[in-house]
């Protein structure tokens, strides 16, 4: 199976699950601020899909992951109906802190920039 096909399937799974999350009634997921699916990695045989989830409020991430695990059977059935694949992958939800990590790196860069400005700007040789 080509990696291009798997990439398209990953995108479709991400799009469909993002749509399903908005309609999910589990309060551990629906009553949390913002829950985003950041990435999907599907195995080549389409048996398993790792779903990386980012939660705005990190203190609620464990509860959100428990809610998603609890709803994984429902989400898998809905995914199977929507995508009409021969095999609907088993969903594994994993917390993703890449957005938070990126925000931390951006803040460190801003601190360095402010420190440079306080010293009179970067030294340039001409």
> Looking at the domain assignment, is residue 106 inside a domain?
yes
> Looking at the domain assignment, is residue 91 inside a domain?
yes
From the number of C-beta atoms within 10 Å of its C-beta (0-12, 13-18, 19+), residue 88 rates as buried
Domain count, the chain: 1
The answer to whether 5 and 44 are in contact (CB under 8 A) is no
Residue 25 confidence (pLDDT) above 90: no
Q: Is-above-0.85 flag for pTM?
A: no
> Encoding tokens for residue 54?
């980012």
> Looking at the domain assignment, is residue 125 inside a domain?
no
Residue 3 confidence (pLDDT) above 80: no
Tell me the mean pLDDT in the region 12-30.
Answer: 90
Strand boundaries in the chain, DSSP class E: 35-42, 48-55, 90-95
> Encoding tokens for residue 43?
């195995």
pLDDT in tens, 69-118: 999 999 999 999 999 888 899 999 999 888 778 888 999 999 999 998 88
pLDDT for the residue numbered 124: 54
Domain of residue 74 covers 3-118
- Of 7-11, 38-42, 62-66, 98-102, the poorest mean pLDDT is in 98-102
> Looking at the domain assignment, is residue 126 inside a domain?
no
Residue 50 confidence (pLDDT) above 60: yes
Q: What is the CATH number of the domain that holds 105?
A: 3.30.300.20
């Amino acid at each position: 199976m080509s990696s291009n096909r798997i990439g398209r399937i990953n995108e479709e799974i991400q799009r469909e699950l993002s749509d399903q999350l908005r309609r999910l009634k589990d309060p551990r997921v629906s009553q949390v601020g913002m829950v985003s699916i950041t990435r999907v990695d599907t195995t080549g045989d389409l048996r398993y899909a790792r779903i990386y989830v980012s939660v705005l409020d990190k203190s609620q991430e464990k509860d959100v992951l428990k809610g998603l695990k609890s709803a994984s059977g429902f989400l898998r059935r809905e995914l199977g109906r929507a995508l009409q694949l021969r095999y609907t992958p088993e969903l594994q939800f994993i917390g993703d802190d890449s957005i938070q990590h990126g925000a931390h790196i951006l803040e460190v860069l801003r601190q360095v920039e402010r420190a440079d400005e306080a010293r009179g700007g970067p030294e340039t040789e001409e």
